[in-house]
Amino acid sequence: MSSESPPTLRQSLSSRTGIAAVVLFVLVSLYAILIQAQILAIVYYASVALLLWLLYRFVRAHERIAVAQERRAAAAASDRRRDEDQSTAGGDATADPAPTDADGVDRPASGVAEPGDQPDGERDREE
C-alpha cells in the first residue's frame, strides 16, 4: 500500500489504462447505438464506470488514512518511550507520562471538558 493520493480523473485518463478504458467505452457506445439501437445503454455503462472509479478512490483514501494512523501511533509510541526513558533516568519517576481513562485506554486530550472534570486551578474556576 502506498500513501500517495489517488490519481485524479485527468491523470487516470492520461495513463495507458485510462486510454484503453476510454477507447473501450467508445466502442461499446458505438455498438449500443448502431447495432442495438439502445441509447440508454451508454448511460448505464458510463454510470457503472463512474461508480467503479469512485469505489477505487474510496478504497485508496481509506488506505491513506490507515497508513497515516499507523505513522501517528508509531510516533506517539516512540515519544512515550522517550519520555519514560527520560523520567526514569533523571526525572520524577512517579509522574505518569500517559494518563489513561477509567477504562485504562490512553486517549489524546480533546480540549473539551468531560463530565466530572475538575478545574485545575484558579484560572479555570468560573466567577
Cα-flanking dihedrals φ and ψ of residue 107, to 5°? -125, 140
Q: What are 6's three cell numbers?
A: 489517488
In a domain, 107, yes or no: no
In a domain, 98, yes or no: no
pLDDT tens readout for residues 34-93: 777 777 777 888 888 889 989 998 999 999 999 999 999 999 988 888 888 887 776 554
In a domain, 68, yes or no: yes
Q: Which domain holds residue 21?
A: 1-89
Count of residues for the chain? 127
- The count of structural domains within the chain is 1
Q: How far is CA 123 from CA 84, 110, 118, 126, in A?
A: 30, 19, 12, 8
Residue 15 has pLDDT above 90, yes or no: no
In a domain, 62, yes or no: yes
Find how far residue 4's CA is from the centre of its chain: 11
Rounded to the nearest 10°, the torsion over CA 124, 125, 126, 127 is -130
